[in-house]
Amino acid sequence: MGNKIAFVTGAAGGIGEAVTRALGSQGTTVAAADRDTERLAETVEKCELAGLKVRAYPLDVTRPADVEAVVDQVERDLGPIDQLVNAAGILRMGAARELSDADFADTFAVNVTGVFNVSRAVTNRMVPRRRGALVTVASNSASTPRTGMAAYAASKAAATMYTKVLGLEVAEHGIRCNLVQPGSTATPMLTSMWHDETGRQTTLEGNLDAYRLGIPLKKLAQPSDIADAVLFLLSDRACHITLHELTVDGGATLGV
């Protein structure tokens, strides 16, 4: 992975931060993008103190003109982007019939349109170079219904299929597009779903009232577990893998 340039969205925290650190630890120069400028600056400062080559690029992925401008800036500052990780995402909980217009629209704006905006901008620059690898961090909820998660699950399903179709279209140019589908991962997004001290145990054991299985491995994923999967799919060890979904959920969706 050394001597490569990677662009990571959602880099200020959670899985995106773990991916940024993991890439940097392998010698990759990382353009870390996030709309939370304060947290992004803190993340990049910690990476730099650890000797990693990480640079901050404040960005709202829902704004296509801003995306194009930032991608141009990254390539001017650092060089041609070799790898893209779409890790920006938001969660809005609510029953399918009760979601507000704003919650539904905001979820799709970040989780789907954001993936579209960034993927388009980066792959359009990769195509003439005839190389590149892209990983979208989606969710196991993209293929398994979850009560209270209609907007999130639908958005991740859309991002999944967009990434696969994009991958099919750019394969002839030597560009690979894959997905990592995490399950419950120890991040602020997960803990925001817990209402009391029983949240963690319920996640591990499951909830029959919500038609939700537990986690057979009896543990939550760590952000680094997801980052390891992302790095594999970006690496030359995965050079003949594209259009693939790699599920990292401890068996929560039974391999389906």
Sorted by where each starts, the structural domains of the chain and their CATH numbers stand as 5-186+222-248 (3.40.50.720)
Told to judge if 152 belongs to the known catalytic residues of this protein, a careful annotator would answer: yes
Which of 154, 151, 217, 163 lies closest to 185 in space, CA to CA? 217
Catalytic residue among 57, 152, 162, 211: 152
Q: Is 226 helix (H, G, I), strand (E, B) or coil?
A: helix
- The answer to whether the beta carbons of residues 159 and 85 sit under 8 Å apart is no
- The answer to whether the beta carbons of residues 103 and 135 sit under 8 Å apart is no
Structure tokens at 208: 């029959």
- Output the pLDDT for position 2: 59
β partners of residue 117: none
Q: How many CB atoms lie within 10 A of CB 122?
A: 23
What does the alpha-carbon distance between residue 132 and residue 108 come to, in Å, rounded to a whole number? 26
What per-residue string of b and e applies to 67-101 under the rule 16 or more CB within 10 Å gives b? beebbeebbeebeebbbbbbbbbbbbebeeeebee
- The answer to whether the beta carbons of residues 67 and 59 sit under 8 Å apart is yes
- The answer to whether the beta carbons of residues 94 and 151 sit under 8 Å apart is yes
Per-residue pLDDT of the chain (256 residues; tens, 9 = 90+): 458 999 999 999 999 999 999 999 999 999 999 999 999 999 999 999 999 999 999 999 999 999 999 999 999 999 999 999 999 999 999 999 999 999 999 999 999 999 999 999 999 999 999 999 999 999 999 999 999 999 999 999 999 999 999 999 999 999 999 999 999 998 888 788 777 778 888 899 998 888 899 999 999 999 999 999 999 999 999 999 999 999 999 999 999 8
Kindly give, in sequence order, each residue whose CB lies less than 8 Å from that of residue 72, ignoring residues fewer than 6 positions away.
none
Structure tokens at 102: 């704003």
- The answer to whether the beta carbons of residues 28 and 4 sit under 8 Å apart is yes
- Output the pLDDT for position 191: 80
Integer angstrom CA distances of residue 228 from 23, 56, 176, 193, 223: 9, 22, 17, 25, 9
